[in-house]
Structure 1
Amino acid sequence: MSNTVMDTDFYFSGQKSVYKGKVREVYTLENDILVMVATDRLSAFDVVMPRGIPYKGQILNQIATKMMQVTEDIAPNWLLATPDPNVAVGKACEPFKVEMVIRGYMSGHAAREYKTGKRMLCGESMPDGMKENDKFTEPIITPATKAEKGDHDEDISKADILKKGIVSKEDYEVLEKYTRALFQRGTEIAAKQGLILVDTKYEFGKTKDGNIVLIDEIHTPDSSRYFYAEGYAKRQARGEAQKQLSKEFVRQWLISKGFQGLEGQSVPEMNDEYIKSVSERYIELYESIMGEAFVKADVSNIQERIGQNVQEYLNETTFI
């Protein structure tokens, strides 16, 4: 369990600064180049768990970069290269301070809100008479404000985003357009693997020349929820839980242990057996989403491997 990346401390050629998020660490270099390292940290309820999950960073990075490559025809993205299984390199931009969450089904956070009696989420209506995991007539966009490490993201409506000037009306319309197009493409990709893309989130930024691009992760089990398509209708009709692919299983385990990230609550202990089971679930997620076998990278010295691979790439590449 010790061969995980929980924290990094690299110094790459031309390095200017480092930002450490909940899961990813971003190194800013000269020429507006970003080196994004996907760690093995696990975040749930916006709280970083004390122990890492083997291969999680590799899994998230490889899904996200592949999904960016197969969606770049409908939404431009920041990605330039993947010099290491845990690393993506791309062009820097100014991130929008909202996450574009889109939901095709009434699940997860939406279902928890619905059960409290709420019928509006981020200005979008959720009709009476719905059951958990029912499909919405049309996908709804329920944005969230970006949070700093350790703080909860907060729901916000389009009207409030525009009113507060968080995003301009012109830019927000582009974010909406890209979000719906990406979700449609993600839905099609998932269907080919016998999956349903239930909900997901996208993050965007603006380049120095004013272009809006997709950043961070896309269609990963950390940012998305998937159901198995086979048996979905029968399980809904019987009122049974859906068989799903996402880190919701971690959230449910934490809830069962009395933890939802609320003040005064303590993170329950994750022993070696549980950590191993979570790693195996992430590998299952990868293989189900990608439709290919997961190839484990060499983890005998992850930090050294990442550092060498990134520096070799930087030495061989000329950025303009």
Structure 2
Amino acid sequence: MASQLYPTLNPPKTLNKTSLFPSFTLSKSIKLPKTKTFSLPLTISSLEKQPSLNSLTNTDYRDHIIHSAQISLTNCLSETNLHLTVPSLKSKIRGKVRDIYDAGDYLVLVTTDRQSAFDRVLASIPFKGQVLNETSLWWFDRTRHITQNAIVSAPDKNVVIAKKCSVFPVEFVVRGFVTGSTDTSLWTVYNKGVRNYCGNALPEGLVKNQKLPANILTPTTKAADHDIPVTPEEIIERGLMTRDEYDEASKKALSLFEYGQHVAIEHGLLLVDTKYEFGKGPDGAILLIDEVHTPDSSRYWIAHSYEERFQAGLEPENVDKEFLRLWFKDHCNPYEDEVLPDAPDELVCELAWRYIFLFETITKSKFQMPGVEEPVHDRISRNVSLALSSL
């Protein structure tokens, strides 16, 4: 994540952070009704046309993607070294998923196939980097009415180039449901008895996977590679953001999430929770950076089966990495074990399929498999070199 990689905008006593992208103007926020249950939009004519778990598990197309993923297991983009192949790149910072290179006035962000959870890398997922990069680009383009971004170009399936800016050392996590399995997930802390979380008063009697009365913001900071929940007042008291900066960024985060929920439900999905990161551009404007509504940063459920499964006490049909998180929790202590078991190939390939399924469901476009004629690192090096030479 961008917020882990650079020095902070307002230097706090204990945290260090930095940045990526440039300037923008805030449009009027989208206001959506806050209801306790979702209704499928009128534009959806029949449930049969909506995504379902069957479409995730019982199609020839899925079998084709799974087979392609199996073939590509040994050819994932797990590491890049563009600073050795592209002369104009000065240095490399390795995040959990992205490799970020300094190109003077710009940053080159390469989205790899590394899979992250529990604040560590669990596996490499075929095609994942391309899926995440293209998903983010789709959302960045469609959220310009809420906030502009500083993407300069996307010269490769796995790469974006962005102008530099300063990043706030805060992740804005927005939640619409009580769920999750990590230590900082809302269900985990609620189940332990917490009733005031990151400044949000939570009512008694909530159960796992229940929709919240209204979306809530639960910001976190980073310390020792772990997410630390924090209240708005603590953010301001510690000098991580000013009051005005926090108010503007939080408004943007909630508006982005409401818009994301609106788009997702129109495509038969529930956007359950997500995280956003913000920074300041050269002109002082607050900007959205990093990634937007990807299956890495967000949780998605199938919409039409949610209510029935919730009433029956069943887990929602999910289209994200939660099942891989749960496998690791069942087979090790992913927070404390020094060495983790290898993720089973069948789960890795299933996740590759689900990421592609989500991309195609949201964007209504077909995922283009990467070619095999040219090694992926050579392709990226060539495309980045050409793009930088034209800037």
TM-score range, shorter chain: over 0.9
> 1:237 aligned to 2:311?
yes
SS at match of 2:137: helix
SS at match of 2:329: helix
Instruction: Say yes or no: does 1:69 pair with 2:145.
Output: no
**Aligned-pair distance for 1:124?**
1.0
Relative to structure 1, the CA distance from residue 82 to residue 240 in structure 2 (aligned partners, 3 Å threshold; closer, same or farther) is: same
Q: Deviations over 1:134-177 (max 9, x none)?
A: 111111100010356xx211111111111111111111111111
Aligned letter for 2:119? Answer: D
**Which segment drifts farther, 294-303 or 203-212?**
294-303
Q: Which residue of 2 aligns with 1:159?
A: 233
Q: How many residues align?
A: 312
Is 1:287 matched up with 2:360? yes
1:223 offset after TM fit, Å? Answer: 0.3
Classify the secondary structure of the residue corresponding to 2:114. coil
CA deviation vs aligned residue, 1:253-287 (integer Å, no higher than 9, x gap):
1112133x322364122243332222222222222
SS in 2 for 1:274: helix
Structure 2 counterparts to residues 33-72 of structure 1, below 5 A: 33-49=106-122, 51-72=123-144
Deviates more, 1:279-288 or 1:83-92: 279-288
Structure scoring higher RCO (CA < 8 A, sep ≥ 6) equals: 2
When structure 1 is superposed on structure 2, of 197-206 and 228-237 the one drifting more is: 228-237
Equivalent position amino acid for 2:127 in 1: Y
Match of 2:186 among 103, 110, 117: 110
Unaligned runs of 5+ in 2: 1-72
Whether 1:168 aligns to 2:232 is: no
- Counterpart residue number, 2:61: none
Measure, in 1, the Cα distance between the counterparts of 2:346 and 2:364. 27
Cα distance in structure 2, aligned partners of 1:197 and 1:270: 26
Structure 1: give runs of 5+ residues left out of the alignment: none
Give the aligned residue type for 1:314. L
TM-score for both structures, normalised by structure 1: 0.93
Q: Counterpart of 2:385? A: 311
1:16 aligns with 90
Kept in 2, the 8 Å contact 1:13–1:314? The answer is: no
Distance 1:146 1:13 in 2: 32
Change (3 A) 1:136 1:272: closer
Instruction: Tell me which residue corresponds to 1:134.
Output: 210
**In 1: Cα distance, 2:298 partner to 2:247 partner:** 22
- 2:17 counterpart residue number: none
Percent identical residues: 39
- The AA in structure 2 aligned to 1:272 is D
Q: Look up the equivalent residue of 2:302 and give its one-letter code.
A: Y
1:215 aligns with 2:289: yes
